[in-house]
Amino acid sequence: MITTRSPRERAYLVGILLPGTAPEAVREQMGELADLARTAGAEVVGSDVHRRSDVDPAHLIGMGKVEALRDMKLEGEFDLVICNEDLSPRQQRNLELQVKARVLDRTEIILEIFAQHARTHEGRLQVEAARLHHLLPRLIGAYAYDRQVGGRRGGVGARGGFGEQQIEVERRRIRRRMRDLDREIEQVRNQRHQQRTGRRRAELKTAAIVGYTNAGKSTLLNVLTGAGVRAEQKLFATLDPTTRKLELPAGRELLLTDTVGFIQKLPTDLVAAFRATLEEVTEADLVIQVLDGSSPAVDEQAETVERILADLDAADKPRVVAMNKVDLLGPASRRRAVSALAKRYPAAVPISATQRLGMAELLQAIDRASRDDAVQLEILVPYGREGVLAELRKIGGVERTEYVEGGTRAWGWAPRHAARRFETFSQKGALPAPGA
C-alpha cells in the first residue's frame, strides 16, 4: 500500500498558485498540508509554492522546478515529495521518474492518516475501499513505469514491481475485493439504519456534531455527555462515530453523535467510502456545527463545512452553531471573530469546550432547535418597546441582539402558538420551524 515507510521520513511540500487563487488561501492550505504530513508521521523539511498560469498535465509543475527538485533529492535534502494538489496517475508517475523520489498527493496523505486512525471494523472497511479505489488506476500505470526503470523499483508496494500478466491478475483481485467490501459496507449501512430506526422508536431526537477537523467536536461531546472519546491535537483523530445520550436542561433527552471531521479538498473517494458513517449526519434531526473560532481560516473552514453538508443533504436541517476555543482569544479578537462570523451565523454561540464556557447557552440553543414547535424570529424592536424583548426571552429565547438605527434587532425563537405576537416586529416573516 501507499505508506510513508519509516515514521520519520523527510517530506518536501510542493504547491501551485494559479491565477484567480488568493495567495493567502494557498499559504493556509500549505500550512494544513504540513499538519497533515506530520499527522501521517513525516517530518516536513521544506516547502515551495510555484506560481503558474495553468496546471502542467504531465508534471503538474514546470520542468525547471522538476529538475530543481531532482537536484535537491540528489543532495539528500528529502525522502519524499507531497503535493498540495491531487495528482493524476500520469503526473504522479512522471514526477516520480524525474525526481527519483516517492511523490504523494493530498488525497494519499489523508488516506494514510485515515488508515492509521481507523479503529473499528466499519472504519477499516471504509478506508480500505477508498484506498483500493484510489490505487486501481495507478496500478494500471505501474507496468509502464517498471519498464522504464527496468523493474528496479521496490518498496512502494502495490504501485510497482509487477509484470504485465501479474498486473492483470492484481487488478482482478482488487476488483473482487472491492466488490466484497461494497457488500460488507452495505451491511454496515443496514445495521446503522436499523440502529437509527430503533432510536427513533425510542422517540429520541438525534443530533450530529459536525465541523472541520480539529475544531473540538470530540471534546465537546465528552464535556456534554461524559463520553470518553479520544480528543487530540491531531487531524482526523475521530473516524468512528460515537453516540451518547445528552440530557437537556428541561430534562428532555437527545442522542448526540460525534462524526469524522471535514477538510477542504476532502477526496471524493473518501466521502463516498464514508457514506455509512456520514449518513449519521444525513439522518440526524439536528446538526451541531463546531467552528474553531481561534483559527485564522475559520471562514474558509465554515465554507468547506457548508459544502460538505450540502453534499450530505444536511444543509437545511435545524442547526446550532458553536464558535469554539474562544478561550484562546482576547476580548478584542473575540469581538472581531464573532462579528466576522455574524453575517454567516448570526446566532452562533461562543463557547470553550475545554474551559466549559458557554455550555448553558449552547444547551439552551440545542434545546430550542430540537423542539418541533419552535419558530425562529428575526425582529426589530423600536426603542421604548423593550418589553417585547423581555417577553420573547420569557416564553422562548433571544440568541443575539444588535443595536441598529431605529431600535434593537434580535434573533430568537418562540413557540409556534405564540409567534404571531411578534409578527408586527418581524424582519423576515417567520422562518419555518425546525423539521417542518
Ligand X SMILES: Nc1nc2c(ncn2[C@@H]2O[C@H](COP(=O)(O)OP(=O)(O)OP(=O)(O)O)[C@@H](O)[C@H]2O)c(=O)[nH]1
Q: Specify whether the CB–CB gap between 326 and 293 falls below 8 A.
A: yes
Choices 7-15, 52-60, 72-80, 346-354; region in contact with ligand X by CB under 6 A? 346-354
- Nearest approach, Cβ of 34 to ligand X (angstroms)? 16
CB of 64 to Mg ion, least distance (A): 42
Residue 243 binds: one of ligand X, Mg ion, none (C-beta under 5 to 8 A by kind): none
Report the 10 Å Cβ neighbour count for 3.
16
CB of 255 to ligand X, least distance (A): 18
Query: Beta partners for 245?
Result: 255
119: phi then psi, degrees, rounded to nearest 5: -115, -35
**Per-residue binding letters, 287-326, with ligand X (x by CB under 6 A):** -------------------------------------xx-
At residue 150, φ and ψ (nearest 5 deg) are 65, 30
Our finding on whether 218 is near Mg ion (CB under 5 A) is yes
Contact residue for ligand X among 16, 132, 208, 237 (CB under 6 A): 237
Interaction between residue 39 and ligand X (CB under 6 A): no
Q: Is 432 exposed, middle or buried (0-12, 13-18, 19+ CB in 10 A)?
A: exposed
Minimum distance from residue 342 beta carbon to Mg ion (Å): 26
Q: Closest by alpha carbon to 315, among 302, 334, 327? A: 302
Q: Per CB under 6 A, does 143 bind ligand X?
A: no
User: How many residues contact ligand X, by CB under 6 A?
Assistant: 23
For the CB of residue 379, give the shortest distance to ligand X in the complex, in Å: 31
Q: Do the beta carbons of residue 299 and residue 341 sit within 8 Å?
A: yes
Among ligand X, Mg ion, none, the one that 182 touches (CB under a kind-dependent 5 to 8 A) is none
Among the residue ranges 4-12, 75-83, 161-169, 211-219, the one whose residues contact Mg ion (CB under 5 A): 211-219
First-last CA distance in the chain: 48
Based on CB atoms, which residue is closest to ligand X, 236 or 345? 236
Q: Which 8-state DSSP code applies to residue 313?
A: T
Would you count residue 261 as binding ligand X (CB under 6 A)?
A: yes
Q: What DSSP line would sit under 76-141, residue for residue?
A: T--SEEEESSPPPHHHHHHHHHHHTSEEEEHHHHHHHHHHHH--SHHHHHHHHHHHHHHHHHHHHH
Q: Which residue lies nearer to ligand X by CB, 145 or 236? A: 236
Secondary structure of residue 52 in the 3-state scheme: coil
29 residue type, one letter? Q
Count of CA atoms in the C-beta half-sphere (13 A) of 44: 19
Site for ligand X in 354-373 (CB under 6 A): 354
- What's the min distance (Å) between Cβ of 245 and ligand X? 19
| Site stretch for Mg ion (CB under 5 A), options 215-223, 341-349, 395-403, 421-429 | 215-223
| Cβ proximity to ligand X, 161 vs 358, nearer residue | 358
8 A C-beta contact, residue 296 and residue 341? no
Write phi, then psi, for 400 (nearest 5 degrees).
-160, 145
**Residue nearest ligand X, CB atom distance:** 261
Quick one: what does residue 352 bind among ligand X, Mg ion, none, with the CB cut-off 5 to 8 Å set by partner type?
ligand X
Contact (Cβ atoms closer than 8 angstroms) between residue 249 and residue 367:
yes
Nearer to ligand X, 231 or 377 (CB): 231
CA-wise closest residue to 49 among 75, 78, 72, 18: 18
Site for ligand X in 107-136 (CB under 6 A): none
Distance CA 419, CA 436 (A): 15
> How many C-beta atoms surround the C-beta of residue 9 within 10 A?
18
Min CB(297)–ligand X separation in Å: 15
Q: Which of residues 359 and 433 has its CB atom nearest to ligand X in the complex?
A: 359
Closer CB to ligand X, residue 352 or residue 376?
352
Please state, as a whole number, how many other Cβ atoms lie within 10 Å of the Cβ of residue 128. Answer: 20
Residue nearer to ligand X on the CB measure, 295 or 376: 295
Measured CA to CA in angstroms, residue 242 lies from 129, 286, 371 at distances of: 21, 16, 23
- Residue 180 CA to residue 193 CA, distance in Å, equals 20
User: Which is nearer to ligand X, 206 or 295 (by Cβ)?
Assistant: 295
- Binding to ligand X by CB under 6 A, coded x per residue (else -) over 195-234, reads ----------------x-xxxxxxx-----------xxx-
* 238 in contact with Mg ion (CB under 5 A): yes
Closest residue (Cβ) to Mg ion?
Answer: 238
Interface with ligand X (CB under 6 A)? 211, 213-219, 231-233, 235-238, 261, 324-325, 327-328, 352-354
Return residues touching Mg ion (CB under 5 A): 217-218, 237-238
